[in-house]
Amino acid sequence: MTPATAAAGDGPVATHCPYCALQCGMDLTPARPGVVDTDAGGRPRLPVTVTPRQFPTNGGGLCQKGWTSASVLRAGDRLTTPLVRGADGELAPATWDDALDLVAGRLAALAAERGPEAVAVFGGGGLTNEKAYALGKFARTVLRTPHIDYNGRFCMSSAAAAGTRAFGVDRGLPFPVTDLAGADVILLLGSNVAETMPPFAAHLAGARAAGGLVVVDPRRSATARLAGGAEGVHLQPVPGTDLVVLLALLHVLLAEGLADRAYLAARTSGSGDVARSVAAWWPERAETVCGVPAEDLRRVARLLAAASPARGGRGAYVLTGRGVEQSTQGTATVTAAINLALALGLPGLPGSGFGCLTGQGNGQGGREHGQKCDQLPGYRRIDDPAAREHVAGVWGVDPGSLPGPGRPAVAMLASLGTAGGPRALLVHGSNLVVSAPDADRVRERLAALDLLVVCDVVPSETARLADVVLPTTQWAEEEGTMTNLEGRVLRRRRAVEAPGEARSELWILAELARRLGAGHVPGDAFPTDPAAVFDELARASAGGPADYSGLSHARLDAHEAAGGPGLYWPCPAGPPGEHPGTPRMFLDGFATPDGRARMVVVDHAGPADDVRPGAPTYLVTGRVLQHYQSGAQTHRVPELERLVPEPYVELHPLLGTRLGVPDGGRARLASARGVVEATARWTDAVRPDTVFMPFHWGGEGSVNRVTSDAVDPVSGMPEFKVCAVSVTPVPA
Q: How many CB atoms lie within 10 A of CB 64?
A: 16
Per-residue pLDDT of 547-598, as tens digits, reads 999 999 999 999 999 999 999 999 999 877 789 999 999 999 999 999 999 9
Q: Which superfamily, per CATH, for 157-357?
A: Dimethylsulfoxide Reductase, domain 2 (3.40.228.10)
Q: How many CB atoms lie within 10 A of CB 707?
A: 30
- Give the CA dihedral 267, 268, 271, 272, nearest 10 degrees: 80
pLDDT at 426: 98
Rounded CA-CA distance 471/508 in Å is 10
In this structure, are residues 63 and 89 in contact, taking their beta carbons and an 8 Å threshold?
A: no
Q: How far apart are alpha carbons 324 and 49 in whole angstroms?
A: 37
How do strand 232-235 and strand 213-216 relate by DSSP bridges? Answer: parallel
pLDDT at 5: 43
Residue 134 forms beta bridges with which residues?
A: none
Q: Which amino acid is at 27?
A: D
Query: What is the chain's alpha carbon radius of gyration, rounded to the nearest angstrom?
Result: 25
Instruction: For residues 531 and 547, give the distance between their C-alpha atoms in angstroms, rounded to a whole number.
Output: 17
CA distance 320 to 332: 12
Tell me the pTM: 0.96
| DSSP run (H or E) holding 650 | strand 648-651
CA–CA separation, 545 and 568 (whole Å): 13
Q: What is the per-residue pLDDT for 10?
A: 63
d(CA 696, CA 629): 6
pLDDT on residue 9:
47
Query: Helix, strand, coil % (nearest 5) of the chain?
Result: 35, 20, 45
Residue 520 neighbours by CB distance under 10 Å: 16
Q: What is the pLDDT of residues 235-246, one digit of tens each?
A: 999 999 999 999
Burial 331-370 (b: 16+ CB within 10 A, else e): bbbbbbbbbbbbbbbbbbbebbbbbbbbbbbbbbbbbbbb
Q: Minimal CA–CA distance to 346: which of 247, 267, 277?
A: 267
Per-residue pLDDT, 1: 40
Distance, CA of 599 to CA of 275 (rounded, Å): 10
> What ranges make up the beta strands (E) of 18-118?
25-30, 48-52, 83-85, 91-93
Give Cα 380 distance to the centre of its chain.
19
Burial bucket for residue 554 (CB in 10 Å: 0-12, 13-18, 19+)? exposed
Q: What is the pLDDT of residue 228?
A: 87
Q: Which of 434, 436, 411 is nearest to 421 (CA)?
A: 411
CA distances from 147 to 106, 200, 393, 410, 465 (A): 17, 35, 22, 12, 21
Question: Domain spanning 617-729 has what CATH number?
Answer: 2.40.40.20
**Model pLDDT, residue 305:** 98
Where the chain has pLDDT below 70, the residues are: 1-10, 33-44, 518-519, 523
Q: Is residue 286 within 8 Å of 294, Cβ to Cβ?
A: yes
What lies within 8 Å, CB to CB, of 413 at 6+ separation is 122, 432, 436, 442, 445
Write the CA distances from 114 to 109, 421, 528, integer angstroms.
9, 10, 30
Q: What is the three-state SS of 551-607?
A: CCHHHHHHHHHCCCCCEECCCCCCCCCCCCCCCCCCCCCCCCCCCCEECCCCCCCCC
The domain spans of the chain are 83-155+373-530, 157-357, 617-729
Q: Nearest Cα to 660, choosing from 571, 602, 732?
A: 732
Predicted pLDDT of residue 45: 73
DSSP secondary structure string for all residues of 149-171: EEGGGGTTHHHHHHHHHHHSS--
Q: In this structure, which long-range contacts are made by residues 290-296, counting pairs with CB atoms below 8 Å and at least 24 apart in sequence?
A: 290/237, 290/238, 290/241, 290/242, 290/244, 290/245, 290/248, 291/236, 291/237, 291/238, 291/241, 292/235, 292/236, 292/237, 292/245, 292/248, 294/248, 296/233, 296/235
**How long, in residues, is the chain?**
732
Q: Are strands 119-123 and 424-428 parallel, antiparallel or unpaired?
A: parallel
**Cα 85 from Cα 432, distance rounded (Å):** 19
pLDDT reported for residue 36: 52
How does DSSP assign 264-295, residue by residue? HHHHEE-HHHHHHHHTT--HHHHHHHH---HH
* Fold classified for 83-155+373-530: Rossmann fold (3.40.50)
CB 191 within 8 A of CB 357: yes
**Rounded distance, CA 299 to CA 290, Å?**
16
Question: Three-state SS across 345-412?
Answer: CCCCCCCCEEEECCCCCCHHHHHHCCCCCCEECCCEECCCHHHHHHHHHHHCCCHHHCCCCCCCHHHH
440 Cα distance to chain centroid = 22
Considering only CA atoms, which of 657, 704, 705, 707 is closest in space to residue 680? Answer: 657
Name beta bridge partners: 57. none
Cβ atoms of 707 and 437 closer than 8 Å: yes
pLDDT digits (tens, 9 = 90+) for 511-524: 999 999 766 777 68
The pLDDT value recorded for residue 367 is 87
Dihedral over Cα of 584, 589, 591, 596: its sign: positive
What pairs with residue 280 in β-bridges?
none
Q: What pLDDT is recorded for position 37?
A: 57
Interatomic CA distance for residues 237 and 248, integer angstroms = 12
